[in-house]
Structure 1
């Protein structure tokens, strides 16, 4: 299975995603924001990044942009629940413009997550 980095500032949601991924046989790595995610990518051979678009410090858009600038070439699945001022759809469309391979609006099902991973990883 795949080596997946989950980037999510909400600890409960991050742990839930990690648990699902581990149950599906993936090796997981965790980060609470974009700065931590970039560190994890230097430390481990990551095959897929699942990243929240709205986080403190370095958000999803900034992190995806930085990944491209650094030439990582790692496929990304973006996720967002939106906020009062920014809808999930706006955040996810912005991510698609940066080359994200799949986008999930929170909340999403385990089946949606599996489909997105399968689509991105082939």
Structure 2
């Protein structure tokens, strides 16, 4: 859904099916922006954010979470901001909220 939304808005999108794959992508290429969930299989979003901040310190990061059984969204998103996320979105969020965050973080990349 997010891929389709961002592509429809004119953005090029690379997807990763889990945190481990996302980290591999980040190690092999440079991207303009990272959008990640907090709860990911194989490597969680905070780990992905830490790697991003280490490898690409100036890359904007949007984290999102609806929380989980053992980690409320408020706590999860606070953790992401502590490790380098620039925006935090509570799920569910509106399409316009994500697009506004992307436009705010990438003003020169507006399609």
TM-score band (shorter)? 0.7 to 0.9
| Partner-residue secondary structure (3-state), 1:116 | helix
Paired position in structure 1 for 2:95: 110
| Pairs aligned (count) | 106
3-state DSSP class of the match of 1:28? coil
Instruction: Trace 1:1-122 onto structure 2 (pairs within 5 A).
Output: 16-69=1-54, 71-73=55-57, 74-122=59-107
Structure 2 unaligned residues grouped into runs of 5+: none
The higher-RCO structure (CA 8 Å, 6+ apart) is 2
Q: Give the aligned CA root-mean-square deviation in angstroms.
A: 1.3
Comparing both structures, which one devotes a greater share of its residues to strand?
1
In the superposition, the TM-score normalised over structure 2's length comes to 0.87
Q: Distance in 1 between matches of 2:84 and 2:48?
A: 13
State the alpha-carbon separation in 1 of the partners of residues 30 and 50 from structure 2.
19
What are the ranges of 5 or more consecutive residues in structure 1 without an aligned counterpart?
1-15
